[in-house]
């Protein structure tokens, strides 16, 4: 006798998967979410106007698993897809996983337990293991500080790291939501849809500045985050311009805060972009970004001298055979 599984009427946690032309990776992403040990899960795939096989892949998975739901819309960008997923979500905890990333099986259960045990925490996060474009794990990880996370640390170091990491308490999202004039779908915005980059840090920092919700991490590399040379993070000038626009938008919330912390935060952001340029083999670009970082503030060099000096050496050597060899060793896939 066959048994049909039914999704619970009231899910405990919703995972929003924004997907635009993600046919190459969506099935693997959904497979990782379907393996979550958390009971009472719903998975919401938001097809953001895809023109490839994304809708068909999502529908095939939905037929196999009643926990999967699909929201289809004209393209509104990553922020717009997340907002539509939030509007469709039914659970009290809401997480996000981009359609080319993956979650470790115990990630959602760990975040739900963390949030249930800590009622003042509105955003729970973890570290991330990096993957290359093929999905192979790299010898690189995002291992952020987990506690004592104030607005200044979010601004300067972004411990959440990427958009496939956080799990929110629904009420925390509601506290930073708004409905812009002219919103055609009659649903609130949590992520600012006028941003096509830096929408993540804009959301995290707005939560930290405008609410009393705490931001706290849990141990483990529970997200597998894919690094792609052609992704949104690759265009350094556009990304930095979006970051500066984020600062301009949020400054009225606390002008004194931004006056104190913006120079150092800008330097950290430029150093991050320099490291991405090194990863792409763009040594001249990396060195240009590092010069701008030092001109903004010496804080990264003072506070993290080893990391900053390693970045400088890598930027200097990446155009040379030795530097390329060292980079290949540093970024080769991790052993199974």
Q: What is the pLDDT along the chain (336 residues), one digit of tens a residue?
A: 334 444 456 899 999 999 999 999 999 999 999 999 999 999 999 999 999 999 999 999 999 999 999 999 999 999 999 999 999 999 999 999 999 999 999 999 999 999 999 999 999 999 999 999 999 998 889 999 999 999 999 999 999 999 999 999 999 999 999 998 877 778 899 999 999 999 999 999 999 999 999 999 999 999 999 987 655 445 788 899 999 999 999 999 999 999 999 999 999 999 999 988 887 888 899 999 999 999 999 999 999 999 899 889 888 988 877 665 655 555 555 543
DSSP SS3 for 103: strand
**Domain map of the chain by residue range?**
13-182+189-237, 254-331
Q: Is 121 left (phi over 0), alpha (psi -120 to 50) or beta?
A: beta
Beta bridge partners of 14: 42, 94
Burial (0-12, 13-18, 19+ Cβ within 10 Å), 62: middle
Measured CA to CA, the distance from residue 282 to residue 188 in angstroms comes to 40
pTM: 0.91
Residue 71 host element (H or E): strand 68-73
Measured CA to CA, the distance from residue 90 to residue 287 in angstroms comes to 47
In this structure, CATH architecture of domain 13-182+189-237 = Alpha-Beta Complex (3.90)
In this structure, the chain runs to a length of 336
Alpha helices in 166-254 (DSSP H): 170-175, 199-210, 236-250
Measured CA to CA, the distance from residue 166 to residue 186 in angstroms comes to 25
Helices 255-279/283-296 angle, 10° precision: 160
CB 264 within 8 A of CB 301: no
Measured CA to CA, the distance from residue 169 to residue 181 in angstroms comes to 26
Beta bridge partners of 215: 123, 149
DSSP SS3 for 158: coil
Q: How far is CA 157 from CA 22, 69, 160, 261, 303, in A?
A: 29, 34, 9, 11, 11
Q: How far apart are the two ends of the chain, measured CA to CA in Å?
A: 39
Measured CA to CA, the distance from residue 235 to residue 233 in angstroms comes to 6
């Amino acid at each position: 006798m066959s048994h049909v599984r039914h999704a619970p009427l009231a899910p405990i946690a919703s995972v929003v998967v924004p997907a635009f032309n993600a046919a190459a990776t969506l099935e693997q992403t959904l497979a990782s979410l379907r393996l979550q040990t958390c009971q009472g899960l719903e998975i919401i795939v938001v097809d953001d106007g895809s023109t490839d096989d994304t809708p068909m892949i999502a529908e095939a998975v939905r037929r196999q698993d009643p926990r999967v739901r699909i929201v289809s819309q004209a393209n509104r960008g990553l922020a717009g897809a997340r907002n539509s997923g939030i509007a469709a979500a039914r659970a009290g905890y809401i997480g996000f996983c981009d359609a080319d990333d993956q979650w470790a099986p115990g990630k959602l259960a760990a975040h739900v337990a963390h949030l249930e045990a800590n009622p003042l925490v509105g955003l729970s996060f973890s570290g991330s293991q990096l993957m290359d474009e093929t999905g192979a794990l790299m010898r690189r990880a995002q291992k952020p500080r987990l506690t004592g996370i104030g607005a200044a640390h979010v601004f300067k170091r972004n411990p959440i790291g990427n958009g496939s990491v956080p799990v929110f308490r629904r009420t925390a999202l509601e506290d930073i939501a708004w409905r812009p004039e002219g919103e055609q779908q009659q649903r609130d915005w949590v992520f600012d849809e006028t941003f096509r980059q830096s929408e993540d840090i804009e959301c995290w920092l707005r939560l930290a500045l405008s609410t009393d919700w705490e931001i706290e991490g849990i141990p483990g590399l529970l997200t597998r985050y894919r690094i792609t040379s052609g992704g949104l993070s690759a265009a350094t000038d556009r990304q930095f311009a979006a970051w500066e626009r984020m600062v301009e938008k949020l400054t009225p919330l606390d002008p004194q805060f931004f006056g104190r912390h913006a120079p150092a935060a800008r330097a950290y952001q430029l150093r991050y972009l320099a490291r991405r340029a090194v990863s792409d083999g763009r040594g001249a670009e990396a060195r240009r970004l590092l010069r701008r970082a030092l001109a903004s503030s010496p804080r990264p060099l003072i506070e993290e001298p080893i990391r900053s000096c390693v970045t400088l050496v890598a930027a200097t050597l990446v155009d040379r055979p030795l530097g390329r060899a060292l980079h290949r060793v540093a970024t080769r896939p991790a052993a199974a």
